[in-house]
Structure 1
Amino acid sequence: MAKTPEIRPSEASRKGQFKKGQSGNPGGRPKSIKEVKEAAREHTLLAIERLAHWAASNEPAASVAASNALLDRGWGKAPMKFDDDEDGGQIRITIERGY
């Protein structure tokens, strides 16, 4: 069985850290992420039109999901309120799936 090397305290404190002036991401953000965002944004109008179509549909789940998506994109998501006065100081978080 191989013996694990002993790590000195000075080495352990440096583990996972970069030298002063050294970046953890010297190449910067990958260009492909920017290109994907730009490509997706080219379809914004189409996506909004489709969401509007589904928001007006008679299918309740699709209508609610599309309406929520349009409101979130147009006005931003509603702020979350945390009130610790109810339930004896406990915070209750409700997550609703909009489908």
Structure 2
Amino acid sequence: MSEEVAGEIAGEPLRPPLAAKTRAGARKPTEIRSLARSHTRTALRVLVGIMRNDEATPAVRLSAANAILDRGWGKAAQPIESGEEGVETVHRVERVIVRPEDAGHADQEAGNA
């Protein structure tokens, strides 16, 4: 780790780890999200340090730069190509529940048709 990154991390006060469970049981997702967000400044400093580190590989620096841009500006929209101009792709998900005793009737009806 570069001295610049280590110095930026060292500037953050160290906090003792929090207990894994609260009185009511396991942490709720909102608590975990809040805890993770409390480390945003440190995480961003680490990413910037990696991006600026001349000793890091280009792939690592690029990955850090992309992570910074994604967090700051959001991920770029990914267009979906349908193969035809102006045609909107419609997806339909259908859930069919078949009872085992009805499966025999469906096979017989298919054979009679």
What TM-score comes out, normalization by structure 1 length? 0.51
Please state if 1:78 is matched with 2:76.
yes
Deviation at 1:82?
2.5
Q: Distance in 2 between matches of 1:31 and 1:47?
A: 22
Residue 106 of structure 2 is matched in structure 1 by none
Deviation at 1:83?
3.1
Identity across aligned pairs (percent)? Answer: 37
Q: Which has the larger radius of gyration?
A: 2
Q: Distance in 2 between matches of 1:39 and 1:63?
A: 26
- Specify the code of the residue in structure 1 equivalent to 2:68: L
Q: Which 4+ residue blocks in structure 1 deviate beyond 4 angstroms? A: none
Residue 61 of structure 2 is matched in structure 1 by 63
Query: How many residue pairs get matched?
Result: 57
Among 32, 36, 50, the residue aligned to 1:36: 32
Unmatched 5+ residue regions in structure 1? Answer: 1-29, 87-99
For CA contacts below 8 A with separation 6 or more, give which structure has more relative contact order.
2
- For each residue in 1:51-95, what CA deviation from the matched residue of structure 2 results, as whole angstroms up to 9, or x when unmatched? 001111232121011000000000000000223449xxxxxxxxx
Alpha-carbon RMSD: 1.9
Q: What does residue range 1-99 of structure 1 map to in structure 2 within 5 Å?
A: 32-58=28-54, 59-85=57-83
What TM-score comes out, normalization by structure 2 length? 0.45
Q: Look up the SS of the partner of 1:49 in the other structure.
A: helix
Unmatched 5+ residue regions in structure 2? Answer: 1-25, 85-113
Deviation at 1:37?
0.8
